[in-house]
Structure 1
Amino acid sequence: MIDLTLSILSSTLIFVVFKLYDTYKVQTLYAIIVNYLVACIVGLFLYDGSIQVEVLANTSWFWGPVALGILFIVIFNLMARTAQVAGVAVASVATKMSLAIPVVFGVVLYNEKLSLLQILGVILALVAVYLVSLKSKAITIRKRDLLLPLLVFFGSGIIDTSMKYFEERHLTAQEVPIFSSMIFGFAAIFGILFIGIKAIRTPLKLNLKNVLGGIALGIPNYFSIYFLIRALQSDMLNSAAIFTLNNVAIVLCSTLLGILAFKERLIPKNWAGIALAIFSIIMVALF
């Protein structure tokens, strides 16, 4: 539970950093690339084995970080586009409700058992995510814009499911730091390629605020993945419960932090979502 708690706290800290980006006018895309480089470096420092490219390239899990690195960049850009086209609430719901995908795969592929109360807890968690994400009016989306949140939903779900797959079938506890580091390393490589292509039209301008913003984001971002994989390796809870608790607790902590630190105002449906989130966490964790 300690690893899961640290993963949740790290992910909540990411929310704080993103909030501060607005305050200090940090360009998110460039900061994200720096963040991936920083996260990669942190993982290399934590890895106590020898780093030999030819040895890593021959591991059974090598292509996992490559594919996940691509997914990180693609999903980030899809989330940004979804927020622009359909609104931040829609992007948030699509991302967090993707917890349903690894939960289903955990039950189907790994024969994980969920009690009736835990299943009810997962359903309540999905409702809680929706309610907490609502603003003054219900979330609405035009049919022609439906593809973007669907891609975010499936992409985020695939990332979480892949984490479980590699943890279950390929990774040892010693390899977790280098595996996490390589995910961010490849994400940085593909991100730099993306920016390089973009720079053909728009000249690239280095900005100290973007670099500092990337450093501030990279450290908690690395540990959010590192501790999540460690939590998945523990035998205390199955992956279905861990992904549910992780996603709902992040939404809950981020919302409460928004109230306390950024004076955000909630509507009654948001408070109902918070109550449901707490109730769903209790049901999934205890039963």
Structure 2
Amino acid sequence: MIALALSVLSSTLIFVVFKLYDVYKVQTLYAIVVNYMVACITGFFLYEGSVEVRQLVNTSWFWGPILMGVLFITIFNLMAKTAQVAGVSVASVATKMSLVIPVIFGIWLYNESLTWIQVIGITLALVAVYLASLKEKHIVINRKDLLLPFLVFLGSGIIDTSIKYFEELHLTDEDVPIFSSMIFGCAALSGVLFIGIRSKKKPLKINFKNILGGIALGVPNYFSIYFIIRALRSDLLSSAAIFTLNNVAIVMLSTLMGILLFKEKLSPKNWGGVALAILSIILVALF
């Protein structure tokens, strides 16, 4: 449970850093790429074994970080596009609602079981995520724009499901730091390629704020993945319960941090979401 709590805290710090990007006018895309580089380096420092390319290539999980790294940068850009086209709330809801995918796969592939009370808790968690994320008074999405939030929902769910798959079948405790590091390393390479293609139209300018913003984001970003894998390896709860608790607790804590640090105001629906989030955590964790 300590690992899960640290994963939630790390993910919430990511939210705080993103908020500060708006305050200090940090260019998100460039900072994100720097963040992936920093997260990769952080993992290498934590890895106690020797880093040999031949040895890594021969591992059963080597191809996983490559695919997930590409998916990380792709989903990030889709989230940004969704926020621009359909609104921030839609992007947030699509991301957090994706917890349904690893929950279903956990029950189907790994024969995990849930009590009826936990099922009710997960259902309440989905409602809580929606209500707590609702910022606009009215959300209107054109039919042609439904593809974007669906792709964010699907991609985010695939990432969480992939993490569980590799943790369950391929990783040892010693592999976790280097596995997490390689995910971010591959995401960084994908981001560099993306920026390189983009710079042909718009020349790249080095900005100290973007680098500093990337460093501030990279460390908690790494530990958000590192600790969620540790939580999955603890066997105290099913992966369905862990992903539910993780997503709902992040929404709840991020909402409270927004109130305390950025003086955000919540609507009655938002407060209802926070209350349901607390109730769902109690039902999933204690029963």
TM-score (norm 2): 0.99
1:53 corresponding residue in structure 2 = 53
2:263 corresponding residue in structure 1 = 263
Q: Distance in 2 between matches of 1:210 and 1:88?
A: 22
Deviation at 1:103, TM superposition (A): 0.3
1:125 aligns with 2:125: yes
1:207 aligns with 2:207: yes
1:158 aligns with 2:151: no
1:217 corresponding residue in structure 2 = 217
2:246 corresponding residue in structure 1 = 246
1:191 aligns with 2:188: no
1:22 aligns with 2:22: yes
2:236 corresponding residue in structure 1 = 236
1:80 corresponding residue in structure 2 = 80
1:32-181 equivalences under 5 Å are 32-181=32-181
Q: Which amino acid aligns with 2:207?
A: N
Deviation at 1:138, TM superposition (A): 3.7
Can you give the 5+ residue segments of structure 1 that lack an aligned partner in the other structure? none
Write out per-residue CA displacement over residues 173-196 of structure 1, whole angstroms, 9 at most, x where no aligned residue. Answer: 000000000000000001000000
Q: Which amino acid aligns with 2:124?
A: L
Q: Which amino acid aligns with 1:190?
A: S
Q: Distance in 1 between matches of 2:136 and 2:222?
A: 34
Q: Which amino acid aligns with 1:251?
A: V
Q: Distance in 2 between matches of 1:32 and 1:135?
A: 24
RMSD value, Cα? 0.6
SS at match of 1:60: coil
Deviation at 1:140, TM superposition (A): 2.6
Write out per-residue CA displacement over residues 119-141 of structure 1, whole angstroms, 9 at most, x where no aligned residue. Answer: 00000000000001112524331
Can you give the 5+ residue segments of structure 2 that lack an aligned partner in the other structure? none
Q: Distance in 2 between matches of 1:118 and 1:139?
A: 30
Q: Which amino acid aligns with 2:164?
A: K
SS at match of 2:206: coil
Q: Distance in 2 between matches of 1:52 and 1:168?
A: 24
Q: Which amino acid aligns with 1:106?
A: G
Asked if 2 retains the 8 angstrom alpha-carbon contact of 1:163 and 1:229, the reply is: yes
Q: Distance in 2 between matches of 1:280 and 1:101?
A: 18
Write out per-residue CA displacement over residues 18-41 of structure 1, whole angstroms, 9 at most, x where no aligned residue. Answer: 000000000000000000000000
Q: Which amino acid aligns with 1:215?
A: I
Deviation at 1:16, TM superposition (A): 0.3
Asked if 1 retains the 8 angstrom alpha-carbon contact of 2:44 and 2:177, the reply is: yes
SS at match of 1:273: helix
Asked if 1 retains the 8 angstrom alpha-carbon contact of 2:89 and 2:136, the reply is: no
Write out per-residue CA displacement over residues 26-68 of structure 1, whole angstroms, 9 at most, x where no aligned residue. Answer: 0000000000000000000000001000110110000000000
Asked if 2 retains the 8 angstrom alpha-carbon contact of 1:35 and 1:214, the reply is: yes
Q: Distance in 2 between matches of 1:137 and 1:11?
A: 26
SS at match of 1:111: coil
SS at match of 2:76: helix
1:174–1:138 Cα change, 3 Å = same
TM-score (norm 1): 0.99
SS at match of 2:184: helix
Q: Distance in 1 between matches of 2:281 and 2:2?
A: 15
Question: Sequence identity, in percent?
Answer: 74
Asked if 2 retains the 8 angstrom alpha-carbon contact of 1:31 and 1:211, the reply is: yes
Q: Which amino acid aligns with 1:269?
A: K
Q: Distance in 2 between matches of 1:106 and 1:236?
A: 15
Q: Distance in 1 between matches of 2:258 and 2:186?
A: 32
